Amino acid sequence: MGERIKLLIVDDHEMVRMGLRTYLSVEDDIEVVGEACNGREAIDRARELNPDVILMDLLMEEMNGIEATKVLAKENMKIIVLTSYLDDEMLFPVMEAGAFSYLLKTSSADEIAEAIRKTHKGEPTFQGQVTQKMFKHMHSKPKHDELTAREREVLALIGQGKTNKEIGETLHIGIKTVKTHVSHILGKLELDDRTQAAIYANKNHLI
């Protein structure tokens, strides 16, 4: 048998860590070398132990899993997210932060062990629901694609902090027309007000 895969378990619930350690103890090729209860401790333990794979929870006090992943991924650590959450607010930020694989805590012990093996070999692993969400996200068009060319111009000027009067003067259109465009923009982007529109324009580099 070759060298065992060194695993670091990161979760803020002791029972979860204990359960994972117990489940994985029967695997001949996986060795749990350490545990951590929050992101900050995970960084310290990972640097100390240099694990091959890290099982990372997301919602933890002191430092969450997303912030810890940002740090550890830059240090070439292979991270498997193991969480109860499949919200877009969790999934996409942590994947952008550098997580290698993403599993839900409903996964069986066999599924987790197999994900550890695949991740160690450089093969990302995702459950069906996660894959569907990521595929949909990758192939979905941004909302501002629905805007007309004129509406994009108005949105860009909103992003620059221009008033309706200033937008009208810049584009040589009446204030009533500007207001109509603003109303259409808010509706298409599903935003509540022009402040949100300005934030959207800046965030999506539309200025």
pLDDT in tens, 53-110: 999 999 999 899 999 999 999 999 999 999 988 776 778 888 889 999 989 999 999 9
Which residues of the chain does CATH 1.10.10.10 include? 143-203
Task: Return the bridge partners of 53, or none.
Answer: 7
On whether the CB atoms of residues 39 and 65 are closer than 8 A, the answer is yes
Residue 118 CB neighbours (<10 A): 16
Residue-level length of the chain: 207
What's the pLDDT score for residue 130? 58
The whole-angstrom separation of Cα 178 and Cα 183 is: 9
Amino acid of residue 40: R
Distance of alpha carbon 160 from alpha carbon 86, whole angstroms: 35
Per-residue pLDDT of 137-176, as tens digits, reads 554 567 788 899 999 999 999 999 999 999 999 999 999 9
Fold exhibited by the domain 143-203? Arc Repressor Mutant, subunit A (1.10.10)
Q: Which CATH class is domain 5-139?
A: alpha beta
The identity of residue 167, as a single letter, is I
The pLDDT of residue 136: 53
Token pair in block for residue 8: 């670091």
Comma-separated ranges of CATH 3.40.50.2300 domains in the chain: 5-139
